[in-house]
Chain A
Amino acid sequence: DAKTTQPTSMDCAEGRAANLPCNHSTISGNEYVYWYRQIHSQGPQYIIHGLKNNETNEMASLIITEDRKSSTLILPHATLRDTAVYYCIVRGANFGNEKLTFGTGTRLTIIP
């Protein structure tokens, strides 16, 4: 799986959009970009994933650059409950390549 690079930490004001960047310059054509978050010591929570098109769901939006070498997770109106570690993970879609490999992620702190 391709490696990802994320900032170690970020702050965002409550109510503002939180934009979390991720670089994945070695991503290959059949690899998806996944985002998870981990609130305190809870289990990782799935947020969103995409291949090349931008995606949006009830939690967030995912913007993937045209060359697919980077992406941005957007939390449109951050709340205090969004304080967590956010993981950007590249994952193949082929059978036999199912696992997720977690890095150190970005610690996002929402400031009141």
Chain B
Amino acid sequence: EPEVTQTPSHQVTQMGQEVILRCVPISNHLYFYWYRQILGQKVEFLVSFYNNEISEKSEIFDDQFSVERPDGSNFTLKIRSTKLEDSAMYFCASSDVSGSGISPLHFGNGTRLTVT
């Protein structure tokens, strides 16, 4: 069964550094998403992306964050200058279009980002 893959599984970075989290969505999917989960808290929506542009973003997704689909397969989340509070699991997801609208989101297993 096709799946969403994320790399790396764990990233450690120093405060103020830039990080890029990478995702390979399911190949025929058209909608892409990033979510995050701070330890012990809810899974929170960050951004959705369709047709090479952001379709929706949350308040969390400020100017420090950006997303890109640099080629036909990867979808990346960049954090320009990491803060301690950016430490979290980051999940990528993708979905397709079905006859009844948008199909279920399928999630990767996440990248654990630790900012020191």
User: Which of B35, B101, B110, B112 meets A95, CB within 8 Å?
Assistant: B101
- Which chain A positions have C-beta within 8 A of B35? 102
Interface residue? B68 (CB, 8 A): no
**Cβ contact within 8 Å between B89 and A95:** no
Q: Write the nearest CB–CB distance from B91 to chain A, whole angstroms.
A: 5
Q: Provided the pairs A41-B110, A43-B91, A104-B42 are in contact, do residues A93 and B104 lie with their beta carbons within 8 angstroms?
A: no
A45 vs B35: C-alpha distance when bound (angstroms)? 14
Nearest B residue to A104 via CB reads B42
A100 vs B48: C-alpha distance when bound (angstroms)? 10
**Cβ contact within 8 Å between B110 and A98:** no
Complex interface residues of chain A between 48 and 83 (CB less than 8 A to chain B): 49, 51
Q: Provided the pairs A42-B109, A43-B108, A99-B48 are in contact, do residues A94 and B43 lie with their beta carbons within 8 angstroms?
A: no
A10 vs B50: C-alpha distance when bound (angstroms)? 38
User: Which of A43, A45, A100 meets B110, CB within 8 Å?
Assistant: A43
Interface residue? B31 (CB, 8 A): yes
1/0 contact string of A79-112 vs chain B (CB within 8 Å): 0000000010000111111111111100000000
User: Which of B44, B95, B112 meets A98, CB within 8 Å?
Assistant: B95
**Cβ contact within 8 Å between B48 and A98:** yes
**Cβ contact within 8 Å between A96 and B100:** no
Interface residue? B107 (CB, 8 A): yes
A94 vs B4: C-alpha distance when bound (angstroms)? 23
**Cβ contact within 8 Å between A102 and B42:** yes
**Cβ contact within 8 Å between A93 and B101:** yes
- Which chain A positions have C-beta within 8 A of B104? 34, 46, 49
1/0 contact string of B78-100 vs chain A (CB within 8 Å): 00000000000101010100001
- Which chain B positions have C-beta within 8 A of A49? 104
23 contacts between A and B (CB under 8 A): A38-B43, A41-B89, A42-B110, A43-B4, A43-B91, A43-B93, A43-B107, A43-B108, A44-B91, A44-B93, A46-B104, A46-B107, A87-B43, A96-B55, A96-B56, A98-B48, A98-B50, A98-B55, A100-B105, A102-B35, A102-B42, A102-B43, A102-B45
- Interface of A toward B, CB cutoff 8 Å: 32, 34, 38, 41-46, 49, 51, 87, 92-104
